[in-house]
Structure 1
Amino acid sequence: MNNHKRIARFVGLLYIIGTVAGIFSVVCTGSILESTDLLTKVSANGNQVILGTLFMLIMGISLALVPVIINPILKKYNEALALGYVVFRGALETFTYIATAMSWLLLVVLSKEYVNTASPDSTSFQNMSNLLGDAGEQIHSITMIIFSLGALMFYYLLYQSKLIPKWLSGWGFIGSIIYLATGVFALFGATFSILLMPLGLQEMFMAVWLIVKGFNPSAIDSKS
């Protein structure tokens, strides 16, 4: 029982670390990557973009550890979905974070080259920066879709297993559906960031719940 409590607290802590790191990443890079004069802005704030990239990787690693750590518990209820959760959230989502990090770091390198070149071909540099920027946006949309699919598996398992209250896992399941739709819309250039809030709030509430309450003891005992 104590081991299950430690797992629950660790999972809750990882969710908080991932969320805080994600917020810092947006704070560091948001206004820079949305600039119309992208190369000049990135060149002037290269270290800030690198710091934002580091925070994003911390977020990715934190969230990737969750399915690995909780897998021994979840697989007792549905081994296939537990494995799918590891694949989507532990592997595929991590890959997309790495791809995003590479696109941001390439922008930093490109911006420095642009500024240091005596007579830069502005059209070529602009085309390359647009390509990297567009690729980063599409990767972000794909990340949202992969994240949502993994989250749907996770919250279905939590609802089925009753490891946390059904209202809390149900909130997460519905929030994941909304998140998935938002990711699909983002692929076509439509952004509805406000729709991400229900799942974001649920994850923070669940994180605190896991740290304070842990998993439902009767649900754990039923599979012991």
Structure 2
Amino acid sequence: MKATIYSDNRNRDVPQTTRTRSRKIALAAGVLYLITFLSLPAFAFYAPVRDPNYLVGPGPDNAVIVGGILEIIVALACIGTAVALYPVIKRQGEGMALGFVGARILEAGTIFAGVVAFMTMVTLRQSGVGAEALITGRALLAMYDWFHLGQDLIPGVNAVLLGSLLYKSRLVPRILPLLGLIGAPLLVANVIVIMFGISGPLRTVTTLSVLPIAVWEFSLGVWLVVKGFNSTAITAEFDNMEPSR
């Protein structure tokens, strides 16, 4: 009799433990998502590198180095969001969850590659190269831009994978993943326009199309920090995991 009561109480305590753990996961993932927005000031710090004569010009390199550090933090945060969310989203679809982790790692890889390109320019500049190195500088700048194009494309893939899982599970309000699912094809269209060098009104329209993805990621980060996952959805997941008696 006592053993039965203990067992029943223990089973009732498990959902609360599950919700507590999911809240910690949501908080960690949300904070990491917000950290990824450090990429915005990083681009401002990179402004000196855009000067065609950067390699042979005067001035300190501190701003570019700070930009590189910020992007490294962003890359690590990208991986962190996927690692943090994986234990929860894998219950909705392990294949898509693994795909999301892989895409996030790939996105981080493109960021690291871009940082290497700019830090190489800093090294060349500090070594006192001559005008003959300007061609190398332009090549490294082009390399960064192409890797950055990958950073523009992969968030669309992330939005489809993670957005689908969150929309299906209702772990967060459906309007949030819906923003990502709407923004994904728009983001791909923007990348295609850039790749083919299209300019004019179409370029302006597609540039604005990146906003839904930005709003999706920022609002998801804020929601996870402030509210966490839907407790009803978490409890339903736990009930589905319990063996039938």
Report the Cα offset of residue 56 of structure 1. 0.6
Report the Cα offset of residue 149 of structure 1. 1.0
Cα distance in 2 for residues equivalent to 1:202 and 1:147: 10
Cα distance in 2 for residues equivalent to 1:161 and 1:129: 48
Report the Cα offset of residue 97 of structure 1. 1.1
Which of the numbers 187, 194, 217 marks the counterpart of 1:203? Answer: 217
Residue 84 (1) aligns with residue 102 (2): no
Which of the numbers 24, 40, 44 marks the counterpart of 1:27? Answer: 44
Which of the numbers 21, 27, 30 marks the counterpart of 1:3? Answer: 21
Deviations 1:138-191 (A, max 9, x none): 111122222321221011111111111111110121122222222233333456
Which of the numbers 150, 161, 170 marks the counterpart of 1:142? Answer: 150
Give the counterpart letter for 1:162 in structure 2.
R
Residue 61 (1) aligns with residue 76 (2): yes
Cα distance in 2 for residues equivalent to 1:44 and 1:179: 36
Confirm or deny: 8 A CA contact 2:156 2:213 kept in the other structure.
Answer: no
Mark the CA change 1:95 to 1:9 in structure 2 (over 3 Å): closer, same or farther. Answer: same
Confirm or deny: 8 A CA contact 1:138 1:187 kept in the other structure.
Answer: no
More displaced stretch, 67-76 vs 202-211: 202-211
Q: Structure 2, unaligned stretches of length 5 or more?
A: 1-18, 239-245
2:30 counterpart SS class: helix
Cα distance in 1 for residues equivalent to 2:188 and 2:75: 18
Q: Corresponding residue for 2:8?
A: none
- Greater Rg by CA: 2
TM-score, normalised with respect to structure 1: 0.88
Q: Corresponding residue for 2:13?
A: none
Q: Corresponding residue for 1:72?
A: 87
Q: Structure 1, unaligned stretches of length 5 or more?
A: none
Report the Cα offset of residue 45 of structure 1. 3.5
Report the Cα offset of residue 5 of structure 1. 0.9
Q: CA RMSD in A?
A: 1.7
Question: Identity of paired residues, percent?
Answer: 26
Cα distance in 1 for residues equivalent to 2:60 and 2:162: 38
Cα distance in 2 for residues equivalent to 1:194 and 1:32: 25
Mark the CA change 1:26 to 1:160 in structure 2 (over 3 Å): closer, same or farther. Answer: same
Cα distance in 1 for residues equivalent to 2:156 and 2:59: 35
Mark the CA change 1:193 to 1:26 in structure 2 (over 3 Å): closer, same or farther. Answer: farther
Q: Corresponding residue for 2:30?
A: 12
Residue 222 (1) aligns with residue 222 (2): no
Report the Cα offset of residue 127 of structure 1. 1.2
Cα distance in 2 for residues equivalent to 1:18 and 1:178: 21
Q: Corresponding residue for 2:187?
A: 179
- Number of residue pairs the alignment of both structures matches: 214
Map 1:111-150 onto structure 2 (within 5 A).
111-113=125-127, 116-117=128-129, 120=130, 122=131, 124-150=132-158
Confirm or deny: 8 A CA contact 2:52 2:134 kept in the other structure.
Answer: no
Give the counterpart letter for 1:184 in structure 2.
I
Cα distance in 2 for residues equivalent to 1:2 and 1:103: 43
Report the Cα offset of residue 6 of structure 1. 1.1
Mark the CA change 1:57 to 1:9 in structure 2 (over 3 Å): closer, same or farther. Answer: same
Residue 50 (1) aligns with residue 58 (2): no
Runs (4+) of structure 1 exceeding 6 A deviation are none
Cα distance in 2 for residues equivalent to 1:128 and 1:47: 21
